[in-house]
Homo-oligomer: A and B are copies of this chain.
Amino acid sequence: LANYFCYDWIMPTGVPEPHLSAWRAVLNAHAVLVDRIEHELTLANLPPLSWYDVLWAVRRAPGRRIRMAQLADSLTLSRGGLTKLADRLEREGLLRREPADDDGRGFYATITDKGVALLRQMWAVYSRVLRQSFAASIDECEAQVIASALARTERATRAGTSRRTPAE
């Protein structure tokens, strides 16, 4: 259960206290919930979240297919890591890789019926945790604030990934 605690009281850095508390809460809630979901999946004899992430990303892609490189970018995973994860999923008959018709170098990942069925089973467990732990402890107004504020942070962080602060 992660504690990436910050410590402004040791070395002040100009990050306001409410933001430090908020970041700490994001880290802790994320760690606790992900642990809990993984735990419940294990109890139900289902694969880990990483499999869910891949299957879901393929399922929701237009045409239910997506290029390997794009898939890796949409997950927290390196190219090589995705190749091996896809190997395992393909071995289980959950995923297929098909050569791209328009680009001889590339491959499309597609999901099988068995993959879709597994996705439903996993989502049944996953969503139960969200209902009992997340939705049960947060009201709708708070949920809307969290959604809009953190989505803004995500965009700001992505946008700033390549640039540097001018005066530095």
Contact = CB atoms under 8 A, between A and B. Distances in A.
A1 to B, nearest CB: 6
Given A11-B124, A25-B151, A126-B6, A157 B133 contact: yes
A127 interface: yes
Given A2-B53, A30-B26, A133-B160, A16 B145 contact: no
Number of this chain's copies in the assembly equals 2
A134 B140 CA distance: 23
What is the size category of the interface that chain A forms with chain B? 35 or more
Contacts of A134: 15, 19, 22-23, 153, 157
A154 B76 contact: no
Main secondary structure of the interface of A (DSSP, over half): helix
Interface string A97-139: 0000000000000000000000010011011101111111110
Given A60-B5, A75-B2, A150 B19 contact: no
Given A13-B128, A137-B156, 13 more contacts: A1-B73, A1-B76, A3-B56, A4-B49, A19-B130, A20-B130, A21-B147, A26-B30, A28-B150, A29-B151, A36-B161, A137-B155, A137-B157
Interface of A: 1-8, 10-11, 13-16, 18-33, 35-36, 39, 49, 52-53, 56-57, 59-60, 73-76, 120, 123-124, 126-128, 130-138, 140, 142-158, 160-161, 165
